[in-house]
Amino acid sequence: MARADRWGGLRLYRLRALRRVVPHAEGPITRVSVAAADSEIGVKHSVLLHGFVVLVDYMGNDDAIVQAARVSYGKGTKSVRDDRGLIRYLLRHRHTTPFEMVEFKFLVRLPIFVARQWVRHRTASLNEVSARYSVLEEEYEVPLPEEVRYQSTVNRQGRGGPLPADVVERFRSDLERVSQDAYRVYEQALKDGVARETARLVLPVAYYTQWYWKINLHNLFHFLSLRLDPHAQEEIRLYAAELDRIARTVCPIAFEAFDDYQLGGLSLSRREQRAVRSLLEGKSPTDACRDAGMPLTREDGKAMTTGEGVEFLAKLERIRSLP
């Protein structure tokens, strides 16, 4: 009996606590909405041949980041730093948790070869259409002629210069034929009663899949900084660009900070800093790289095409070409 009283008392205490008005430094709590983002909800933005990105919902905005940060820093900071300054300070100093307070849910239709790169980002939630349950549509990606190019000689993972037109056209028509043939086999298998989960094995990675994808702003910044980068494959970059464009309607100030400190930022290793010091002392980039232990030539005298020195020169080029 005494035990039951104790639990009963505890329940009553909890109820009272829930009914109390939640104290909040900035006034009453209301659901935030951003007009520009609200008008994006449900709008289908085409990407590639059959793909799209749709903003399904979002939670929070720039104010939510500020609100979360002020729980840590207290009301007093308002007079010292305005909201924009605070958001920029947070991102600059990698105080990232307030950025987790903003969430986005997207519906995305994308080719399987892009999806395979996309799912490597583990810090999001996703639900994908099941090809065990549903029949996939006959929709496959065929790159534009200008996107079918030589294998790059400097980047083992990338594309290089333009191919002869006949090679491009042969590849594109072969891709069409193989994709269509595969779908005929898929249809026949389904007609013959082969289970959908087995029949789908014949469909190539150019075929499309679809998913809901939910991610917070901190993790979206990480995704975007990797997938907007010129080293990422063109197709996923197109999706990243669309996500970026839509998400910045929700929290434009945070994205401005992202542009300045993450996307447009540049990290310098200790060796690179030594090379910068040599440059400031008036040495040539070649000597600066050599002194810093990042030589630009091999022992046989040939110019290096990869490595730290080459990457450092690319960083200098990026600085030189700043608008």
Ligand X SMILES: Cc1cc2nc3c(=O)[nH]c(=O)nc-3n(C[C@H](O)[C@H](O)[C@H](O)COP(=O)(O)OP(=O)(O)OC[C@H]3O[C@@H](n4cnc5c(N)ncnc54)[C@H](O)[C@@H]3O)c2cc1C
C-beta closer to ligand X: residue 122 or 191: 122
Q: How many chain residues touch ligand X (CB under 6 A)? A: 10
Instruction: Establish if 84 lies at the interface with ligand X (CB under 6 A).
Output: no
Shortest distance in whole angstroms from residue 134 CB to ligand X: 27
Q: DSSP alpha helices (H): ranges in 20-130?
A: 35-38, 62-73, 77-80, 83-92, 112-118
Residue 148 has φ and ψ, to the nearest 5°, of -95, 105
Closest residue by Cα to residue 213 from 111, 129, 137, 128: 128
Bridge partners of residue 239, in order along the sequence: none
227 labelled catalytic: yes
> Cα 281 from chain centroid?
39
> Cα 40 from chain centroid?
19
Shortest distance in whole angstroms from residue 235 CB to ligand X: 12
Residue type, 18: L
Inter-residue contact 277 to 262 (CB < 8 Å) = no
C-beta closer to ligand X: residue 121 or 315: 121
Shortest distance in whole angstroms from residue 226 CB to ligand X: 4
Shortest distance in whole angstroms from residue 124 CB to ligand X: 7
C-beta closer to ligand X: residue 254 or 296: 254
Question: 10 Å Cβ neighbour count for 202?
Answer: 17
Residue type, 85: G
Cα–Cα distance measured from residue 138 to residue 180, given in angstroms and rounded to the nearest whole number: 8
Shortest distance in whole angstroms from residue 168 CB to ligand X: 24
C-beta closer to ligand X: residue 30 or 157: 157
Hey, which residues between 120 and 179 contact ligand X (CB under 6 A)? 120-123, 157
Q: Which tokens go with 171?
A: 């590849």
Catalytic residue selected from 70, 200, 227, 248: 227
Residue nearest to ligand X (CB): 122
Cα–Cα distance measured from residue 218 to residue 255, given in angstroms and rounded to the nearest whole number: 11
C-beta closer to ligand X: residue 39 or 123: 123
Residue 317 has φ and ψ, to the nearest 5°, of -65, -40
Cα–Cα distance measured from residue 141 to residue 245, given in angstroms and rounded to the nearest whole number: 23
C-beta closer to ligand X: residue 169 or 311: 311
- What mask, x for binding ligand X by CB under 6 A, covers residues 213 to 242? ------x--x---x----xx----------
Q: What is the DSSP string of 202-233?
A: GS-TTBEEEEEEEEEHHHHHHHHHHHSSTTS-
Q: What is the DSSP string of 157-178?
A: TSEEEEPPHHHHHHHHHHHHHH
Shortest distance in whole angstroms from residue 77 CB to ligand X: 28
Looking at the annotation, which residues are catalytic? Answer: 227
Residues of this chain that interact with ligand X (CB under 6 A) are 120-123, 157, 219, 222, 226, 231-232
